[in-house]
A = this chain, B = another copy of it.
């Protein structure tokens, strides 16, 4: 039987229990995954639909989560655009040909998902046959992708990214447009292949203040959500430390606003967030004894259930040192406790 609680929550419909998934639920916190990574690279897993479907489905089976999220990286579509990116252990994505000006932006090619990343679409098709929960696909957002492409890798202060943005606005907007086109094409292909929800990761955009966000980034984000709203699947937007941008996000044609752990759900709603919300347990709380985890989870569920439209998640990705047993216990708790609250309310 198909479990549609996640899709219902995204659409602010009535639910029986609060749906749960975890950012990076498939990854280095799982011993099975760490074992696989001894033999396969991230790309090796991504490009093998059987293996990638296994990795994607594993946490759903193990934790009883209400949604799967396709295993891949936000960098996955970039090589086809001409970006020479390698995922380096302990560092993250490293790019040998960073963007330094208009010439580099002009050299980027358009993504053709069927030709360039057929394995992504094949994995989606395969997973739709295997899963009895919704499959979420995702894409990086233009700012976050651009930050890697300009810095040449992960960054602390994004000074090259902002330097290009402030100094060469024409180059910047061309890059935003090119990446915006990619996101739209990539997401549409993933939905066409069978993805039932989309999360856009603008992980690092919180480094911009609101005025810069509104001028340099908001237009492309508006275009992306305008183009995607007709696809018929819930659209989620997430970033770290982006509380000061949340009302801009709430104005987009999207369904769910992701909150990090520093923005309590009831404050977000009080501030004017009208969309469904997703979040927001600090993943570091998972290192605490169970009574601490339970207290925090309860607070979040209580706040989340005050209005329709709530998906339980962490406020950032699961990190490698988290014990999978804690995640299993947490999912069970969210299900049980929210069922109790909801059945009291309805009965």
Give A residues with C-beta under 8 Å from B.
157-160, 162-163, 166-167, 206-212, 241, 243-244, 261-264, 282-285, 287-289, 292, 316, 319, 321
Contacts and interface: CB of A to CB of B under 8 A. Distances in A.
B284 A158 contact: yes
A111 to B, nearest CB: 29
A283 B157 contact: yes
Contacts of A263: 244
B209 A282 contact: yes
A287 B163 contact: yes
Nearest to A243: B244
Contacts of A208: 262
B157 A319 contact: yes
7 contacts: A157-B283, A166-B287, A167-B287, A206-B241, A208-B262, A209-B282, A210-B264
Contacts of A162: 282, 284-285, 287-288
Given A162-B285, A206-B262, A212-B282, 13 more contacts: A159-B287, A162-B282, A163-B284, A163-B287, A163-B288, A166-B287, A166-B289, A167-B292, A206-B241, A208-B262, A209-B282, A241-B241, A244-B262
Copies in the complex: 2
Contacts of A167: 287-289, 292
A321 B287 CA distance: 38
Contacts of A160: 287
A283 B209 CA distance: 12
Contacts of A287: 159-160, 162-163, 166-167
Contacts of A264: 209-211
B289 A319 contact: no
Given A166-B289, A284-B163, A289-B166, A157 B316 contact: yes
Contacts of A243: 243-244
A252 to B, nearest CB: 20
Contacts of A283: 157, 159
Contacts of A211: 264
B157 A288 contact: no
A159 B321 CA distance: 9
A261 B209 contact: yes
A211 B261 CA distance: 11
